[in-house]
Amino acid sequence: MRFLRQSLIGLVLAALSLGLLAYAGSIVGGAVQERLSEEARTPPARERVFAVPVVRAEAGTETPILEAFGEIASRRTLELRAATAGRVIELAEGFEDGGDVTKGQVLVRIDPANAEAALARAEADLLDAEAEVRDADRALVLAQDEEQAAQVQANLQERAFRRQQDLQERGVGTAAAVESAELAASSARQAVLARRQVVTTAEARIDQAQTQLVRARIALDEAQRTLDDTTVTAPFDGSLSDTSVVAGRLVSANEQLATLIDPGALEVRFRVSTAQFSRLLDEDGRVIRAPVSVTLDVVGIDLAATGIVSRASAGGGDMQTGRLVFARLDSGFGFKPGDFVTVAVAEPPLDEVVRLPASAVDAANTVLVLGEDNRLEQAEVTLLRRQGDDVLVIGDDIVGRDVVEARSPLLGEGISVRPLRPQTDATSETPTEPEMVELTDERRARLVAFVEANQRMPADAKERVLASLAETHVPAQMVARLESRMGG
């Protein structure tokens, strides 16, 4: 009985379990069917809004700056050459590379012995020529006197001949007397002709003596110039370069002794493209006198100078492109010929142009501007100039509107954005002071030693840098530049 009762209980429990499983299966199946039969419901999509920085496009007058690289040169550079050959016997005290000289200072003396001897010979020849002129003058006077005496004799003989003819006509004289008087008159006339020939020869001698005198004077002047050429003087104030002689050296004629450079007449020459050069021309096709600023990057400090465009090269140059332009510097303080500098030329101002960041304009010369409901619109502009990180453009559709500062692949026409406008408070307009650092004694000593040992730095720039390093606080930018050059 117990076995039967336990078996029935087991059957009942098994039946209940199966029933519960079947019920659960029906519930799950119904739920699945209900889920599959329902329509898919998606949540409403939200439009993505991008935060973008914008700038206000304001039209105004801008002065484009043309940047180029150039070289400092002197407008007055003279090659000092030996006019005569000889031995150098004297050099000026400052005749060395970099030496300063003044106008009229004697730089080089060449042995004048040969030139002085030639000058003495020329003076002697001149004395001989002058003596010959005097002798010729005296000979002419004597010849003229003899000619006059011969003429008087001829006149007397002619009168005697006529008198004998008159006596013969009256029957008193004889034919022999008449013939004798005629022969005497003829001889007197022949003597006159001979004396005239002597006078002509004397006059020719005077002409030859005068010619010899002129030649002697020319020879004397040449000898004097040769003697003067043995002394080389400075024609203007300047500095010497490329000196190549020492005392005692033999030099040949036309040999270069040094180069004299005028440091006060500096100019910068730089090459620009043909398109850039066309913007520096006026209506008549001449180069405008545009302002120029020149910058030289030296250790710890920048040398700067101003000037004005003076001229352009007449030719384009062999195997060169663009145009070579020259600008005259107002003051070349610290600059030397041969320095490689950065040149900034102020072009003629442009009216009604907009300055924008270069990142705001794409390759198709279009920009994105804010429209209604802060949605982006595309506008076309005309690119005029690139000025570093900025561009100068014109476009009627952007004036007075906000322009996206930087283009992005995520931005396009119709995109909703949240504009971020620049702050215009008073603190942002105040220029920031240069960052200053305080140096340790060891660090300061290393920088001072580096500056003092630098031979390429101009003396005036070196003094300013050393004065700055002597202060308690030193500009951080100058320290960084010095340490970058010294490897620190």
pLDDT for 159 equals 82
CATH code reported for the domain at 77-111+231-260: 2.40.50.100
Nearest Cα neighbor of 126 from 229, 28, 233, 224 is 224
* Mean pLDDT estimate for the chain: 85
Neighbours of 188 (CB within 10 A): 20
CATH 2.40.420 domain span(s) along the chain? 350-427
Question: Do 239 and 98 form a contact (C-beta atoms < 8 A)?
Answer: yes
Average pLDDT over residues 50-63: 91
Q: Between β-strands 50-56 and 417-420, what pairing exists: parallel, antiparallel or unpaired?
A: parallel
Confidence of residue 215 (pLDDT cuts 50, 70, 90): very high
Confidence of residue 125 (pLDDT cuts 50, 70, 90): very high
User: Does pLDDT of 221 surpass 90?
Assistant: yes
In degrees, to the nearest 5, what angle opens at C-alpha 261 toward C-alphas 256 and 264?
Answer: 170
pLDDT for 427 equals 43
User: Does pLDDT of 270 surpass 90?
Assistant: yes
Confidence of residue 55 (pLDDT cuts 50, 70, 90): very high
Structure token digits, residue 72: 């400092």
CATH 1.10.287.620 domain span(s) along the chain? 114-229
pLDDT for 448 equals 84
d(CA 126, CA 356) in angstroms, rounded, equals 83
Nearest Cα neighbor of 386 from 414, 360, 420, 413 is 360
Instruction: Say which residue, 111 or 166, is predicted with more confidence.
Output: 111
At 31-50, the pLDDT tens digits run: 878 777 766 566 666 778 88
pLDDT for 426 equals 41
Q: Between β-strands 231-233 and 106-110, what pairing exists: parallel, antiparallel or unpaired?
A: antiparallel
CATH of 262-346, one of 3.40.50, 1.10.3470, 2.40.30, 2.40.10: 2.40.30
At 416-455, the pLDDT tens digits run: 889 988 765 444 444 455 677 788 888 888 888 888 887 7
In degrees, to the nearest 5, what angle opens at C-alpha 260 toward C-alphas 92 and 85?
Answer: 60
pLDDT for 65 equals 92
Structure token digits, residue 454: 């630098």
pLDDT for 148 equals 86
pLDDT for 174 equals 76
Detail the DSSP E strand segments found in 372-479: 376-380, 382-387, 390-394, 402-404, 417-420, 436-438, 473-475
d(CA 357, CA 368) in angstroms, rounded, equals 12
Q: State the SS3 of 44-83.
A: CCCCCCEEEEEEECCEEEECCEEEEEEEEEECCEEEEECC
Average pLDDT over residues 145-165: 83
CATH of 114-229, one of 1.10.287.620, 1.10.579.10, 3.40.50.80, 3.40.50.300: 1.10.287.620
3-state secondary structure of 277: helix
Task: Report domain 350-427's class.
Answer: mainly beta
Neighbours of 146 (CB within 10 A): 17
Q: Which residue has the tokens 């690119």?
A: 383
Question: Do 111 and 230 form a contact (C-beta atoms < 8 A)?
Answer: yes
pLDDT for 433 equals 59
Instruction: Say which residue, 4 or 428, is predicted with more confidence.
Output: 4
CATH 2.40.30 domain span(s) along the chain? 262-346
Nearest Cα neighbor of 116 from 201, 18, 214, 229 is 229
d(CA 188, CA 88) in angstroms, rounded, equals 70
d(CA 11, CA 8) in angstroms, rounded, equals 5
pLDDT for 264 equals 83
Structure token digits, residue 462: 């070196």
Type of residue at 342: T
pLDDT for 428 equals 44
Q: Where is average pLDDT lowest: 181-190, 272-281, 340-349?
A: 181-190
DSSP state of 433: P
Percentage, residues of the chain above pLDDT 70: 94
Question: Do 296 and 344 form a contact (C-beta atoms < 8 A)?
Answer: no
Whole-prediction pTM:
0.63
Average pLDDT over residues 168-190: 80
pLDDT for 223 equals 93
CATH 2.40.50.100 domain span(s) along the chain? 77-111+231-260
Residue 60, beta-bridge partner list: 353
Nearest Cα neighbor of 65 from 330, 290, 324 is 290
Type of residue at 338: G
Average pLDDT over residues 323-350: 89
pLDDT for 425 equals 43
